[in-house]
Amino acid sequence: MADHSDIAAPGAVRTITSLTNPTIKDIRGLALPKNRKESGLFVTEGMKLVADAVEENWPIKILVYGAKVADHPVVKRVATTARARGGDVLEVSEAVLSKITRRDNPQMVVGVFEQKLTPKSEVRPGPAGVWVALEGIKDPGNLGTIIRTADAVGAEGVILVGDTVDPFGVEAVRATMGSIFHMKLARMAVDEFKAWRKGWPGIVVGTHLSGKSDYRAVDYDRPVMLFMGNEQSGLPDDLAALCDHLVKIPQAGRADSLNLAIATGVMLYEIRRDKLKL
């Protein structure tokens, strides 16, 4: 991203109404994977999500809010924190927010944050901890939904294996509904994952349409890595071979498989069944 820090004194709120302002163009440009990769930044939209991220200490680089919410107590609090952490704070027109978010009815608050991944040395489960490993996942809505569901059941984190969709894309972040800020997220190449898996202290349970066990027949009372295949072709043989159990979710109708995020949700609720008793 270009350095526009000369435009206003540090700590000041800048007011922007020009749609051609270079900072605004840079933020809009973060919709492109190439720009997110180069800058290491990403965008999140909505007052609650931005406030959650700041509360969870995600490094905020730019806070953008619409003039009409300038006096909202949450916006004031987030702006104070963002400035204290060296972030840029921009008060903008609704037209500018529409330009950034590419929407007619834009969210009134947008945050630009640094991306954060958990190194594989820190992917260590608690005594009955659950991690979800996703091989080659391609759909951002599925990924966001899985991160949100993993958060909901109290899983510890999600590992992206191989070539996957970017978890920091706008659609994926939106689908997490804020869970991306609460969950650990790690990334490994396929060979790296194969080597690292040897040190995993619990069981690895893969889901497979030709799995031999019913998913309810496994004892999950130990650290579990749930390994899900991708949307198109499922777990390839070399990765299926890394699993202690290959399980199937029974189906009765004519659908040939479940959607990936739905299958992950069914699995996670079974794995965490005893922990989720109300």
**234 in contact with ligand SAM (CB under 6 A):** yes
Instruction: Report the candidate in 132, 161, 133, 136 with the shortest Cα–Cα distance to residue 231.
Output: 136
Among positions 67, 231, 236, 244, the unique one binding ligand SAM when judged by CB under 6 A = 231
Footprint on residues 184-223 left by ligand SAM (CB under 6 A): 207-209, 211
6 - beta bridge partners?
none
Q: How far is the CB of 210 from ligand SAM (least distance, A)?
A: 8
Our CB check for ligand SAM shows the closer of 106 and 211 to be: 211
Q: How far is the CB of 194 from ligand SAM (least distance, A)?
A: 18
**49 in contact with ligand SAM (CB under 6 A):** no
Q: Are 15 and 147 in contact (CB under 8 A)?
A: no
Which span (83-91, 123-131, 186-194, 254-262) binds ligand SAM, by CB under 6 A? 254-262
Among positions 28, 116, 184, 248, the unique one binding ligand SAM when judged by CB under 6 A = 248
Our CB check for ligand SAM shows the closer of 16 and 242 to be: 242
Among positions 69, 152, 242, 258, the unique one binding ligand SAM when judged by CB under 6 A = 258
Q: How far is the CB of 142 from ligand SAM (least distance, A)?
A: 9
Q: How far is the CB of 233 from ligand SAM (least distance, A)?
A: 6
**263 in contact with ligand SAM (CB under 6 A):** yes
Q: How far is the CB of 199 from ligand SAM (least distance, A)?
A: 23
CA distance 95 to 245: 53
Our CB check for ligand SAM shows the closer of 39 and 257 to be: 257
Instruction: Report the candidate in 148, 132, 113, 125 with the shortest Cα–Cα distance to residue 43.
Output: 113
CA distance 164 to 138: 6
Q: What are phi and psi of 246, to 5 degrees?
A: -115, 115
Among positions 172, 260, 268, 271, the unique one binding ligand SAM when judged by CB under 6 A = 260
Q: How many residues bind ligand SAM (CB under 6 A)?
A: 17
- Angle CA(51)–CA(119)–CA(56) in degrees, nearest 5? 15
Q: How far is the CB of 176 from ligand SAM (least distance, A)?
A: 19
Our CB check for ligand SAM shows the closer of 53 and 172 to be: 172
CA distance 277 to 50: 31
Q: How far is the CB of 137 from ligand SAM (least distance, A)?
A: 9
Query: Using CB under 6 A as the criterion, which residues of the chain lie in contact with ligand SAM when the complex forms?
Result: 207-209, 211, 228-229, 231, 233-235, 248-249, 251, 257-258, 260, 263
